[in-house]
Structure 1
Amino acid sequence: MNKSEHCKEVYAYFGLAIFRAQCVEQSIIQLLIFLVFFKENVTKISSIEKWEVDFDDFDKALSKKTMGHLLGALKELQVLNEVTESTLSKALIKRNWLAHGYFVDRAIEFLNTSGRNKMISELKDIIEIFNSAEDFLQPIAKKLALQYGLTDERLEEMKKEIYPSEIDDM
């Protein structure tokens, strides 16, 4: 593999790692939506329109927060076990490093084949941390979704309503 292709491979793994970090962040947001917004608002629904506006406002407010703040809010709810909390804390550290210093810290390694190979291996390991975090969060979200009647079938119907023309590409 030539140098240019090898550099692209590092960038591709970095892209996948930061994507997986964002997936973890969105999973935390989903949990907070169920654990806070739904819990506080599901019995007070006055209209679909108001629900949608309030939901969107809550989601936007969460989306402006850092992953660290989101994780802190989730920890305050005391719904995570020690292993999940530890994994999410590791994921947060890796996410922040990727976003703020990864290529600065790996500038020398990036200059040679051996270093780039180490970076690829390191990024694969980081991706696995994010995958593990998702493995812990998804069952919690699924359980909460079911409590509110969001079955797999209902979620599929909603997806078709929201993305009717794109459904074949998903």
Structure 2
Amino acid sequence: MDKSEHCKEVYAHHGLAMYRAQCVEQSIVQLLIYFDFFAKKVPLLKSVEQWKQDFDNFDQVMSAKTMGQLVKKLVDLGAVDPTIETLLREGLKARNYLAHRFFVDHALNFLSEEGRNKMIVEAEENCKLFNEIEEMLNPITHALSEKYGITQEQLKEIEQMLFKKAGGDLDPP
């Protein structure tokens, strides 16, 4: 592989790892929607319009928080067991490293093929960590969806509708 392409590979693997970290963040937001928003708002439901406004406000507030703040809120709500909490904290540390230190710490590694390969392996390992976290969080989210009457079939229909609305040209979900 030529050097320029190899450099692009480093950036691509780092980008994928950051993408997966953001997926974990969104999974945490989804859990907070169920454990915090739904838990408080469902009993008070009076109108669809108010629900939509409150939901959008909650989502906006949660989406503005750092991953560390989201993890803390999830833990403070007692929403996850110690094993998942440990994994979330490990994921937070990995995400922060990728965002703030990865290229700084690997500045000299980037100058050689061997070093770039090391960077790619590290980014792939972080992807695996984020995938593992999501594999632990997704069943919790699915169970909560069902609890509140949102079936997996309905979620799939919404996903397909959003894909179509976006004019997606990738393989549909």
Distance 1:111 1:167, change over 3 A: closer
Matches within 5 A, 1:144-159: 144-159=144-159
Identity over aligned pairs, percent: 48
Q: Distance in 1 between matches of 2:6 and 2:66?
A: 32
Given residue 61 of structure 2, which amino acid in structure 1 is its aligned partner? Answer: A
Given residue 89 of structure 1, which amino acid in structure 2 is its aligned partner? Answer: R
**Number of aligned positions between the proteins:** 170
Conserved? CA contact 1:159–1:167, under 8 Å: no
More off after superposition, 152-161 vs 139-148: 152-161
Q: Distance in 1 between matches of 2:52 and 2:164?
A: 20
Distance 1:105 1:167, change over 3 A: closer
Matches within 5 A, 1:7-86: 7-86=7-86
Cα-to-partner distance string for 1:29-59 (whole Å, 9 max, x where unaligned): 0000000100111122222111111100000
Given residue 158 of structure 2, which amino acid in structure 1 is its aligned partner? Answer: M
Matches within 5 A, 1:155-170: 155-165=155-165, 166=167, 169=170, 170=172
If the length of structure 2 is used for normalisation, what is the TM-score?
Answer: 0.93
Q: Distance in 1 between matches of 2:77 and 2:133?
A: 17
Moved over 2 A (4+): 156-170
Answering whether residue 130 of structure 2 is matched by residue 133 of structure 1, we say no
Which residue of the partner structure matches residue 117 of structure 1? 117
Distance 1:44 1:163, change over 3 A: farther
Which residue of the partner structure matches residue 5 of structure 1? 5
Conserved? CA contact 2:35–2:79, under 8 Å: no
RMSD in angstroms over aligned alpha carbons? 1.4
Given residue 26 of structure 1, which amino acid in structure 2 is its aligned partner? Answer: Q
Gaps of 5+ in 2: none
Q: Distance in 2 between matches of 1:122 and 1:160?
A: 33
Q: SS of the residue aligned with 2:78?
A: coil
If the length of structure 1 is used for normalisation, what is the TM-score?
Answer: 0.94
| Cα offset, 1:78, TM superposition | 1.4
Q: Distance in 1 between matches of 2:141 and 2:85?
A: 15
Q: SS of the residue aligned with 1:150?
A: coil
Cα-to-partner distance string for 1:64-97 (whole Å, 9 max, x where unaligned): 1100000000001112122211111110001001
Distance 1:54 1:135, change over 3 A: same
Answering whether residue 91 of structure 2 is matched by residue 91 of structure 1, we say yes
| Cα offset, 1:162, TM superposition | 4.4
Conserved? CA contact 1:160–1:167, under 8 Å: no
Q: Distance in 2 between matches of 1:112 and 1:167?
A: 38
Distance 1:42 1:20, change over 3 A: same
